């Protein structure tokens, strides 16, 4: 296992990967799970405004994302909040308890501009390279692809479990729908791309997606419908 760095540098991009215990498909890309993951990121970005999120992709049994920070001391706090919220809320969704993540996660510095684009392409390619969907745009789970190809925003809403618990203890509980807060995610361009105009930035992202589609053209894929119906307690044969 690669351990998290003990200190972080301002504006340096980090690639974070964390996997579920035994590779179990608890993060199956159904709408409820996708909402939890997006909400966890949106909530953490509100809590730690010194963190910049450049991209994210939640597969059924692992999560990838790219971050940097103007206030590097916020990064480990951000990681902890995102990972703990996802674990607690998906455990509740799947009606289970206990350990969710296999390890703390792997955090790797991305050292130059070419590497930044390479790691973003890798993140975007998760579904196609695993023969799950034909294009990054087909992935039904939580991901940053629509934002990267659009206005750099991803819709997200957050409802904390502690807030829900306290609400249930009130003499007159509020409707659960009122407990949600809008935590729309605003993605930040990679430092290598931050000088580009919005249309130029979209063009770079679109070119990465087009190359992934071309690289995997004609391959047999599982498809979004079957993915959303897979058993969340299943796991890969080889993990």
Closest alpha carbon to 212 in 118, 94, 98, 90: 118
For position 162, which CATH number holds?
Answer: 3.30.70.1290
pLDDT (tens digit per residue) in 163-214: 656 656 667 767 777 667 999 999 999 999 999 999 999 999 999 999 999 9
Predicted local confidence at residue 52, as pLDDT? 99
pLDDT (tens digit per residue) in 106-118: 999 999 999 999 9
Is residue 179 included in any domain, yes or no?
Answer: yes
Structural domain span for residue 130: 13-220
pLDDT (tens digit per residue) in 29-85: 999 999 999 999 999 999 999 999 999 999 999 999 999 999 999 999 999 999 999
Is residue 19 included in any domain, yes or no?
Answer: yes
CA 71 to each of CA 8, 84, 239: distance values in angstroms, whole numbers, following the listed order: 9, 21, 36
Is residue 237 included in any domain, yes or no?
Answer: no
Predicted local confidence at residue 1, as pLDDT? 37
For tokens 């249309």, the residue is 199
pTM of the full predicted structure?
0.92
Is residue 225 included in any domain, yes or no?
Answer: no
3-state SS, 144-201, equals CHHHHCCCCEECCEECCHHHHHHHHCCCCCCCHHHHCEECCEECCCCHHHCCCCHHHH
SS3 (DSSP) at 66: strand
pLDDT (tens digit per residue) in 154-165: 999 998 766 656
Number of domains, the chain:
1
């Amino acid at each position: 296992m690669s351990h998290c760095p003990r200190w972080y540098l301002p504006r340096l991009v980090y690639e974070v990967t964390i996997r579920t215990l035994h590779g179990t498909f608890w993060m199956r890309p159904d709408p409820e799970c996708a909402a939890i993951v997006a909400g966890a990121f949106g909530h953490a970005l509100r809590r730690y405004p010194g963190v910049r999120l450049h991209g994210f992709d939640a597969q059924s049994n692992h999560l990838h994302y790219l971050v940097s920070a103007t206030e590097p001391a916020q990064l480990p706090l951000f990681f902890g909040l995102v990972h703990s919220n996802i674990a607690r809320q998906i455990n509740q969704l799947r009606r289970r308890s206990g350990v969710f993540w296999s390890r703390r996660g792997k955090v790797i510095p991305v050292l130059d501009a070419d590497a930044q684009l390479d790691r973003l392409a890798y993140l975007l390619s998760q579904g196609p390279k695993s023969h799950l969907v034909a294009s990054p745009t087909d992935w039904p789970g939580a991901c940053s692809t629509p934002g990267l190809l659009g206005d750099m925003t991803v819709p997200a809403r957050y409802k904390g479990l502690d807030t829900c618990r306290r609400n249930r203890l009130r003499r007159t509980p509020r409707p659960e729908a009122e407990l949600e807060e809008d935590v729309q995610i605003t993605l930040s361009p990679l430092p290598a791309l931050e000088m580009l105009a919005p249309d130029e930035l979209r063009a770079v992202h679109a070119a990465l997606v087009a190359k992934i589609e071309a690289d995997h053209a004609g391959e047999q894929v599982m498809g979004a419908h079957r993915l959303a119906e897979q058993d969340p307690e299943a796991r890969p044969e080889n993990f």
